[in-house]
A and B are shown apart, each in its own frame.
Chain A
Amino acid sequence: MPALIDQIEPLKQAALAQFQAAEDMAALDQARSQFLGAHGQFTALMKQLGALPKEEKPAAGKQINQAKGELEAALAARRSELELAAVLPKDPTDFTLPGRRRGLGCSHPLTQVIEDIVRSFRKLGFVVADGPEIEDDYHCFDALNTPADHPARDTQDTFYLDHPTPRLLLRTHTSSVQIRVMEKQAPPIRIIVPGRVYRRDNADATHNPTFQQIEGLYVDRGVTVGDLKGTVEFVFRELLGADTRIRFRPHYFSYTEPSFEIDFANATVRKMGKAWLEIAGCGMVHPQVFVNVGYDPEQWTGWAFGFGIERIAMLRYGVNDIRLFYENDQRFLRQF
């Protein structure tokens, strides 16, 4: 029989081989008890240590402890390996396969544009106001200084309800809300009004009988054309990009005086091969409108402007047909 010290290394090697060969936990446990259990071979070897001559003890003891340490480490390592192998899925995950998605919905592009506009105006102290879509001639036209024989009152352009008295119509612009608000509230006023409006146009790529506008109204003491320009420039730069230039052109609306059309220019407009693109109408509230709502035009001045939501959305996203906004094709809605 070889000396004790010479048995250590072969027994260690045999144990390591068995640990490595164990394919599952049971096999590994068995190997462990075969060598390191109470009746294991390695344990037996350790028991023999006491029987060694005193001078041989330290060297053999050191070697045997070292070997035991190695075996325990190997055992733990193999155990971790086997544990991991046991929980690994049979089919490894293919990280290139599509995941299981939870769909979020999208808000409508017109809603998104309205929210952006509202956000810009709110930075300036505006609040959102609202008014009825079914209106009467007074609020939609007369009070806005649009007399009965004005071209804008053509029945060609206005939808009337089948409702004889009072004669009711679908508002043709959000400007009617100016009147509704001023009738109820004393100045100062600082509102924006997004909403649906209606014109009796046949639907085509640029017309839909239903469309949406946003109206702005600011009434206070000492409001000037300069204020109008300042606000409009701020909002349109936020909306259309910092490179946007704004131009005011004299124009005519019956409820503002002076009146202007607003043109803008930026990279988008240049790409369309144009210098300027019309975007909105505006002006100083006509004194007659103030009189109609009981404001004193000598004390109060103000401005109003309005523009189409779809037009902004079409420019911003490059949408080429207004009807797409109302068809609600999912492939369209999910692009925004």
Chain B
Amino acid sequence: MKITLQWLRRYVDFNGTPEDLAERLTMLGLEVEGVQRTGAEFDGVVVAQVITRDPHPNADKLSVCRVNDGQGERIIVCGAHNFQAGDKVPLILPGHALPARRGEPPYTIKVGKIRGIESHGMMCSPSELGLSGDAEGLLILPPTAPVGQPFAEFLGRSGQDVVFDLEVTPNRPDLNSVIGIAREISAATGQPLRLPETTLAEDPDSRAADGVAVRIEDPDLCPRYTARLIRGVKIGPSPDWLRRLLELVGLRSISNVVDVTNFVMLETGQPLHAFDYRLISRAAGEAGQEGLPTIVVRRARPGEKIATLDGQERSLTTDMLLIADEQRAIALAGVMGGLNSEINDRTADVLLESAYFKPTSIRRTSKLLDLRSDASYRYERGADIGIADWASRRAAQLILETAGGRLASGVVDAYPRPAAPRHVSVRFARTDALLGIPIPAAEQVGHLRRLGLEPMAAGGSETTPEAAGIATVQIPSFRVDLKEEVDLIEEIGRLHGVDRIPATPPRGALGAHPHDAVHDDLAAARRLLCGLGLSETQGQTLISDALAARVLPPEEAGSIVRLGNPLSSDMNVLRPSLTAGLLDALRRNINRQESDLALFEIGRVFRLREAAPADERHLGLALTGRRHQPFWSGADRSQTLDLYDLKGILEEFLDLFGVRGYSYARRAGAHPLFLESAQIVQGKQVLGEIGQLLPAAARQLDLRDAVLVAELSMDLLLARRNASKQFRPLPAFPSVRRDVAMVAPESLTHEAALGAIRKARPTHLEAVELFDVFRGGQVPAGHKSMAYALTYRHPERTLTDAEVNAIHEKLVASLKQDLPVQVREG
């Protein structure tokens, strides 16, 4: 909402600078988003007269003009065509700036050569001056304009003004009006509010009620409709003060009558509409007589259409409220007028509508038609049902002033069920308890009074509200936001000043919530992964269905959770896995020449489970590129990462995080994403998956090196985490190591070998370490040599060689029996 300082001052005095006012309004809850001084905008612009106009010697489309600026002559090179010698035009002198356009810096005019001829200023078009009108040609001023006069003075705009741009919160529709804001300032400062007098010169010979009838068919959606009639107006441009005011606050001047309705809407917050009275058809009267032109307020009929003022034809639904006559729709109630009854140059008689429509109805209509107007904006937030007639009188008065005509006496005011006044009570002690400061009862009452909330005598008794500790106030019709006690407490707090409420040091109960520990578990996981050299990412929750499908086996594509109203196909589903985002992060980095990457994310993923969307926290890891940080020497420095790197990271992480007893189940058969992969399982529960991306899939993402990916259910890891620690005494006696090397077929897994060792239950075995896997040489094809180091230790004494040898030999014998291996002795 834009208002100007001068406009505001018509209704309330304010002693202080515009900045003071901005601060005051902001602290009242009316945030000032911009303060712009006007009047200085035409600095350096004067009325000038073109003396000669000649073609530019070097440019077809330009002319070279001698121009009198009132002080003397200057040469101006000009690109416009709509003028001739003798015309008077606005001229901006070098060194001065044109009014800035929204979002652009001001443009300063300089002396400069244009195609070889020096130009000393610029003749201006209306749009260059920020005025409404034709952008094509110069603004041609009337011949009477005095040459040399400052342009602002010529426009009658020498008085400076300040435009405030205010953010009005949706609960305060009353502040979408200058009077509403003045009322707020009056309440805050104690300066009286001055409302304009609306004494009307009514034509005693004609009555509105004899000229128009109003029939409300849907009083639920339109509780009140008033109509006034002004005959014999002359439609024309608005007077300067009106044009200027509307332009300053960002509205286009249209014609005197329409401008008045807009002015009064801005002044009072009450939307008004003017119809051409003669275009409203008459009802069929009794006994063949013609009835009165009749306003019918009704819902649209099935399939009904209306052409609105913006020239669009709108298809209506039966929820939408219309203003109609007996034959057709003439306006979309509270949203926009109809073309068929619009004020036009030939309009002589005006029917002035001032009504109240239900916010929900207007909002629904406006949303369904995607049509928003200043009127719908105000109605959908809640207009003031009490002001409808006053605003109509105010507009009638101004129409008579600006367009002439005769006002039919009286008003047709269809208001079948006048709203009963609402009452709300506030307990002063409750105010103190909520705000945290004692505000004396008399002061609270004072704040309420200033807001026009006069406390009523409690039940006719003699007790004052102060003594009773409670005030009951009648809510003015414009304060639709005041519904209950806490709303009044807010008002008292606002006028008292939030800054006067002292901050109290934190105190009170300790919080409790089961997630608190989870938050720490997640933080611990992040710390471990960072320590392992992975950087944390945060991917988009919303991704494309194509990317989502790429990371899922085809049979799971149906489990993707889709948006009903996506913004674009790039973001139309909820991520089913973190791998999608991690791969995207790898791709993005590689494209920016960052090729050595180790990333993880902990975040939620979404899948349909039994047809209902469900979320789950996951952990995703992705690696690609070189194993080691860049170094300047060494044969292994350019080695790239492989699956064992990722597996090592994962194992270290799970060990330290406290997840044990899991194993890997190699996936047999083809997988849409992985070249090789395995499920990470714990008992029957699949914790996640680890694998290497198919080279083809990697190439699609511009990834050249092996891409290693793992994704696990973080929720499962959290559930199975055992982070408890137990001290074990450090061994006091030395250990003894014995090695065993076995030539085994390729199909024998490490896990099977370990299993066989465990099964043999060698006494005093402390640890088993696989220290070499070797192929080739004397190892036959299809086989591998696996070398294990076994550590034996007795907790209470030193083992002898003989003891260890006996245990170890028994183990070797058992392995030979249980595994398809040849043990290499020695």
User: B125 to nearest A CB, angstroms?
Assistant: 32
A218 to B598, CA, bound (A): 40
**Which stretch (B5-13, B203-211, B495-503, B640-648) binds chain A?**
B495-503
Q: Which residues of the other chain, A, contact B597 by a CB distance below 8 angstroms?
A: 330
* Chain A residue with the shortest CB-CB distance to B628: A100
Q: Which residues of the other chain, B, contact A260 by a CB distance below 8 angstroms?
A: 498
A222 to B432, CA, bound (A): 10
Q: Is B752 an interface residue (CB 8 A)?
A: no
A121 to B82, CA, bound (A): 69
Interface residues of B in 538-590 (CB under 8 A from A): 538-542, 561-567, 571, 574, 581, 585, 588-589
Q: Is A151 an interface residue (CB 8 A)?
A: yes
A284 to B492, CA, bound (A): 14
Q: For chains A and B in complex, what number of residue pairs have CB atoms within 8 angstroms? A: 258
Q: Which residues of the other chain, B, contact A233 by a CB distance below 8 angstroms?
A: 503
Q: Which residues of the other chain, B, contact A67 by a CB distance below 8 angstroms?
A: none
Instruction: Evaluate contact between A103 and B629: CB separation under 8 angstroms.
Output: yes
Instruction: Evaluate contact between B542 and A225: CB separation under 8 angstroms.
Output: no
Instruction: Evaluate contact between A326 and B540: CB separation under 8 angstroms.
Output: yes
Instruction: Evaluate contact between A230 and B540: CB separation under 8 angstroms.
Output: no
Q: Which residues of the other chain, A, contact B284 by a CB distance below 8 angstroms?
A: none
User: A191 to nearest B CB, angstroms?
Assistant: 5
Number of interface residues of B (CB under 8 A): 93
Q: Which residues of the other chain, A, contact B506 by a CB distance below 8 angstroms?
A: 124-125, 227, 230-231, 234
A224 in complex: contacting residue of B434, B511, B515, B516, CB < 8 Å: B434
User: A308 to nearest B CB, angstroms?
Assistant: 14
Instruction: Evaluate contact between B538 and A326: CB separation under 8 angstroms.
Output: yes
User: B110 to nearest A CB, angstroms?
Assistant: 27
A334 to B540, CA, bound (A): 19
Q: Which residues of the other chain, B, contact A66 by a CB distance below 8 angstroms?
A: none
Q: Is B70 an interface residue (CB 8 A)?
A: no
* Chain B residue with the shortest CB-CB distance to A323: B540
Q: Is A48 an interface residue (CB 8 A)?
A: no
Pull 16 A–B residue pairs with CB atoms less than 8 Å apart, ordered by A: A103-B598, A105-B535, A111-B538, A127-B515, A149-B380, A159-B563, A161-B564, A161-B613, A170-B541, A196-B603, A224-B436, A224-B437, A229-B503, A230-B503, A249-B29, A249-B31
Q: How large is the interface on A (under 10, 10 to 19, 20 to 34, 35 or more residues)?
A: 35 or more
**Which stretch (A3-11, A37-45, A129-137) binds chain B?**
A129-137
Q: Is A61 an interface residue (CB 8 A)?
A: no
A215 to B484, CA, bound (A): 26
- Bitwise, A176-204 to B at CB < 8 A (1) or not (0) is 00000100010011110000101010100
Q: Which residues of the other chain, B, contact A234 by a CB distance below 8 angstroms?
A: 505-506
Residue of B506, B564, B589, B606 ringed by the most chain A CB atoms within 10 A: B506
Q: Is A247 an interface residue (CB 8 A)?
A: yes
Instruction: Evaluate contact between B367 and A161: CB separation under 8 angstroms.
Output: no
Known: A115-B523, A252-B29, A330-B589. A224 touches B504 (CB 8 A): yes
Interface of A, secondary structure class, is mixed
Known: A128-B515, A225-B435. A108 touches B565 (CB 8 A): no
Instruction: Evaluate contact between B504 and A133: CB separation under 8 angstroms.
Output: no
Instruction: Evaluate contact between B564 and A160: CB separation under 8 angstroms.
Output: yes
Q: Which residues of the other chain, B, contact A108 by a CB distance below 8 angstroms?
A: 535-538
Interface residues of A in 208-223 (CB under 8 A from B): 208-210, 218, 220, 222-223
Instruction: Evaluate contact between A189 and B531: CB separation under 8 angstroms.
Output: no
A226 to B501, CA, bound (A): 6
* Chain B residue with the shortest CB-CB distance to A259: B490
Instruction: Evaluate contact between A284 and B434: CB separation under 8 angstroms.
Output: yes
A260 to B563, CA, bound (A): 33
A216 to B349, CA, bound (A): 60
Q: Is A52 an interface residue (CB 8 A)?
A: no
Instruction: Evaluate contact between A250 and B594: CB separation under 8 angstroms.
Output: no
Q: Which residues of the other chain, B, contact A265 by a CB distance below 8 angstroms?
A: none
Interface residues of B in 426-444 (CB under 8 A from A): 433-437
Instruction: Evaluate contact between B508 and A227: CB separation under 8 angstroms.
Output: yes
User: B27 to nearest A CB, angstroms?
Assistant: 6
Interface residues of A in 66-125 (CB under 8 A from B): 97-98, 100-108, 110-111, 115, 118, 124-125
B538 in complex: contacting residue of A110, A191, A258, A287, CB < 8 Å: A110
* Chain B residue with the shortest CB-CB distance to A252: B169
Instruction: Evaluate contact between A333 and B486: CB separation under 8 angstroms.
Output: no
Instruction: Evaluate contact between B508 and A190: CB separation under 8 angstroms.
Output: yes
- Bitwise, B513-532 to A at CB < 8 A (1) or not (0) is 10110110001001101111
Instruction: Evaluate contact between B565 and A159: CB separation under 8 angstroms.
Output: yes
A208 to B494, CA, bound (A): 34
A231 to B504, CA, bound (A): 8
A274 to B562, CA, bound (A): 42
* Chain B residue with the shortest CB-CB distance to A124: B506
Q: Is A29 an interface residue (CB 8 A)?
A: no
Q: Which residues of the other chain, B, contact A107 by a CB distance below 8 angstroms?
A: 526-527, 530, 535-536
Q: Is B534 an interface residue (CB 8 A)?
A: yes
Instruction: Evaluate contact between B27 and A301: CB separation under 8 angstroms.
Output: no
- Bitwise, A302-336 to B at CB < 8 A (1) or not (0) is 00000000000000000000000111111101100
A185 to B509, CA, bound (A): 14
A260 to B606, CA, bound (A): 35
User: A228 to nearest B CB, angstroms?
Assistant: 8
Instruction: Evaluate contact between A129 and B515: CB separation under 8 angstroms.
Output: yes
B498 in complex: contacting residue of A129, A151, A170, A249, CB < 8 Å: A249
Instruction: Evaluate contact between A284 and B486: CB separation under 8 angstroms.
Output: yes
Instruction: Evaluate contact between A162 and B516: CB separation under 8 angstroms.
Output: no
Instruction: Evaluate contact between B27 and A227: CB separation under 8 angstroms.
Output: no
Instruction: Evaluate contact between B364 and A149: CB separation under 8 angstroms.
Output: yes
Q: Is B767 an interface residue (CB 8 A)?
A: no
A102 to B563, CA, bound (A): 43
Q: Is B507 an interface residue (CB 8 A)?
A: yes
B28 in complex: contacting residue of A101, A248, A250, A301, CB < 8 Å: A250
A200 in complex: contacting residue of B487, B561, B565, CB < 8 Å: B565
User: A266 to nearest B CB, angstroms?
Assistant: 17
User: B635 to nearest A CB, angstroms?
Assistant: 14
Instruction: Evaluate contact between A181 and B508: CB separation under 8 angstroms.
Output: no
User: B578 to nearest A CB, angstroms?
Assistant: 11
Interface residues of A in 147-161 (CB under 8 A from B): 149-151, 154-155, 159-161
Instruction: Evaluate contact between B598 and A251: CB separation under 8 angstroms.
Output: no
Interface residues of B in 584-610 (CB under 8 A from A): 585, 588-589, 592, 594, 597-600, 603-604, 606
Known: A286-B486, A327-B588. A105 touches B598 (CB 8 A): yes
User: A161 to nearest B CB, angstroms?
Assistant: 6
Q: Which residues of the other chain, A, contact B534 by a CB distance below 8 angstroms?
A: 105
Instruction: Evaluate contact between A125 and B510: CB separation under 8 angstroms.
Output: yes
Known: A224-B434, A258-B490. A102 touches B567 (CB 8 A): no
